[in-house]
Every structure is written in structure tokens, then in C-alpha cells.
Amino acid sequence: MIYKREIVVGAGCGGDGCVSFRREKYIPFGGPDGGDGGDGGRVVIVANPNVVDLSLTGRKKEFVAGNGCRGSGWRKRGKKGEDLFVSVPVGTMVFTEADSGAEILLADLSTPGQKVLVAKGGRGGLGNARFATSVNQAPEIASKGASGEERHIVLELKLITDICIVGHPNSGKSTLLSAISRAKPEIADYPFTTRQSILGVMPDDRRDFIVAEIPGLVEGAHLGKGLGNEFLRHAERTRLLIYLLDGSSQTVIDDLGTLDKEIALYKGLSHKPKIVAVNKIDLPEVQARLLEVKQCFAKLGVPVFYISAVSGQAVLELVRKAREMVDQASQDEEIISQAQITVFRPKPRK
């Protein structure tokens, strides 16, 4: 999966205006009738829910829209250049570079069908018919079409999810994802089975919830250990994190600390709502230490669940709490977004 891409977009050039004079039998001095050139095509980036990553079309780096056609006699306007629509996944952020070199966010394409115009087509040139005046009734001039805009664009995909399952390798993230959603990720008894973020849909009567599994994190992931921490970018826009711990790990209590440290070291994740889930409680060795673990986690200040993703034990309770917390987080988001709207009202007349 490709999460970041740099491309160059070029809008089409406008077609040139035409120099032409009306020539017809019995109509002497027909006058100028050169039409305008067509405008150049635009480049538009569109969020398409059927697109999963930024591979776009192969290795192509330049995306160029069609040029406008020349104008012609009979005041005919040239054909408009064809617009180019570049489809990207929902959740793509579109940046461009300012003259100072700083990246500017042009759009955050967070809803399906959302579009942003990234390069305006050049305007078509004017035909000589436009230059006729009372003193120059037969102008032999037309203007050239303007060139289209060209821009350097950076696309960055940040998935928009409700819940992200994070944890150490082999803790059972894929097993939990397949238990609570329709996703069918690969499950195996070795670390780093999952090497890409995986999405699943958790159906619900009111609305579906999007759940993601983030590839396993190890201590030092922020320094590039294991698979590194770059997949955490997909957790940046989640509403809830589920910390999934492997109950059969000898260091399960410390595992929570190392996991939390890795999350906290990634920008913007430390304040996300969290649930801790200790997995694999169906195993006898986990049961044997469960009391000790429960005592340690009793005062964490976040909800803790003891589950078995394989047998389904306590998974329903976990899901219920997760939904509740996601709903709460969405309500909070709404309040914040409403607060950002400024309404200008005219002052009442005296």
C-alpha cells in the first residue's frame, strides 16, 4: 500500500484565438469572424471510496489535462480541453508547496466524492472578432491561449477510522479484528504476520464502524525497530485506540508500558481515548496469572477488558464499550466543529 506520493499536475493550455474573415457570395466585407480558443482542461483530485491506496496509475508522476482547441471561423469557439480527474482514497490530504518551501494543506478529502481543483486550465485566446472596433473594423490580430497552471502536489493518505487495534506482534490483533468485523486478515502464530494496516467494517444497526489493525509495534518502533512506527499515521485520525496485550506474555504488565510509550511518542496519539484488552484468557497459564494482572491494572484509569479473541469471551462487552466511547468521541467532534463556525449577523437598525 502506498500512503504518500508526490506528483506534478498540469492543467491544459487555452487554445489560440483565430483570425478569420467572413467570405461569402454577395456579402462583401463580411467582417472579422475568428472565434475564441477553448479553455484548457482542469486537474481535479477526487476522493473515491473504491480506491484503497495512492498507487494511482502505476508509476506515472505527471498528470496533465487536455489542451483547449483553436477557435475557428464563423466565430466558433474552440473545444474545451478535457478535465483530468485523479481518484484518491477517502482520507487523502492534498498539500502543495508555497514559494517559501512550506507545505500548505489544500484540502482534506475526508468524505466520498469530495473534490479539490489543483490546477486551473489556461483561458482560451480571443479571436479577431473580439478586437473589432469602429476604427478598426478588420483587425488581423487574435490572442494566444494562456498556459495552464502547473503544481507540485503531495498526497498523503491518513485513514479515517473509528477504532484502531494496536499491540505487540502476535498479541491477537488480527484474530480480534476478524471476530468483531467482516475482515478476514491472515492469522498465524508468528510475529509480523500483518505487515500493512488492515481495515474491517463492524456492522451496527445505526451505522457501521470502521476498525483498523495496525501492524505490531515493538519497543523502539519509533527508532525504526521491527516494522517501525510509520503505520501509526493511520491511528492519527481514529476515535478510539484498543491496546491489545498478549495475556500469555511473561511481561504482560510491562508490555502495556512499552506499548503506551511508543504510542505517546507518535505525535497526536497520547490524548486519544483508549481501552486496554488483555487477550488469550482461554489459556490456562493466563488464567493462573490473571488475578495478579487484574490487580496491577485495576487503577489504570481506562477501561480494561480480559478477553479471548478465539473463544469470544468478553468480546461483546469490549465491543459495546468501544461503540459507546466512539459515539462519545464523535459527539465531542461535532461540538468542536460547530464551535468553529462563525456566524456574521448584521447589526440591527437603530
Ligand X SMILES: Nc1nc2c(ncn2[C@@H]2O[C@H](COP(=O)(O)OP(=O)(O)OP(=O)(O)O)[C@@H](O)[C@H]2O)c(=O)[nH]1
* Residue 181 contact, options ligand X, Mg ion, none, Cβ 5-8 Å cut-off depending on partner type: none
Minimum CB–partner distance for residue 177 and Mg ion (Å): 8
Total residues interacting with ligand X, rule: CB under 6 A: 23
Helix (H) or strand (E) holding 241, with range, is strand 240-246
Q: Are 197 and 231 in contact (CB under 8 A)?
A: yes
- CA-to-CA separations, 35 to 22, 128, 135, 139, in angstroms, rounded: 11, 7, 20, 13
Q: Is 242 in the site for ligand X (CB under 6 A)?
A: no
Kindly state the cell numbers that stand for 176. Answer: 480480534
Kindly state the cell numbers that stand for 16. Answer: 489560440
Q: Is 174 in the site for Mg ion (CB under 5 A)?
A: yes
User: Nearest to ligand X by Cβ — which residue?
Assistant: 172
- Look up residue 251 and give its DSSP letter: T
Name the residue nearer to ligand X (CB basis): 88 or 164: 164
The one among 290, 310, 314, 329 contacting ligand X by CB under 6 A: 310
Minimum CB–partner distance for residue 226 and ligand X (Å): 9
The one among 194, 197, 229, 279 contacting Mg ion by CB under 5 A: 194
Q: Specify the stretch interacting with ligand X by CB under 6 A; choose among 105-113, 170-178, 204-212, 254-262.
A: 170-178
Q: Is 218 in the site for ligand X (CB under 6 A)?
A: no
Name the residue nearer to Mg ion (CB basis): 80 or 173: 173
Q: Are 312 and 278 in contact (CB under 8 A)?
A: no
Report the amino acid identity of residue 94.
Answer: V
**Distance (Å, rounded) from C-alpha 73 to C-alpha 57?**
39
Name the residue nearer to ligand X (CB basis): 160 or 217: 217
In 28-169, where do the E strands start and end?
A: 43-47, 62-64, 84-88, 92-97, 103-109, 115-119, 150-157, 163-167
**Distance (Å, rounded) from C-alpha 143 to C-alpha 83?**
23
Q: Are 179 and 202 in contact (CB under 8 A)?
A: no
Q: Is 192 in the site for ligand X (CB under 6 A)?
A: yes
Minimum CB–partner distance for residue 269 and ligand X (Å): 18
Helix, strand counts (H, E) of the chain: 4, 14
Q: Is 316 in the site for ligand X (CB under 6 A)?
A: no
* Residue 74 contact, options ligand X, Mg ion, none, Cβ 5-8 Å cut-off depending on partner type: none
The one among 72, 171, 229, 238 contacting ligand X by CB under 6 A: 171
- Look up residue 149 and give its DSSP letter: P
The one among 279, 318, 319, 322 contacting ligand X by CB under 6 A: 279
Minimum CB–partner distance for residue 315 and ligand X (Å): 9
Residues that bind ligand X (CB under 6 A): 167, 169-175, 187-189, 191-194, 216, 279-280, 282-283, 308-310
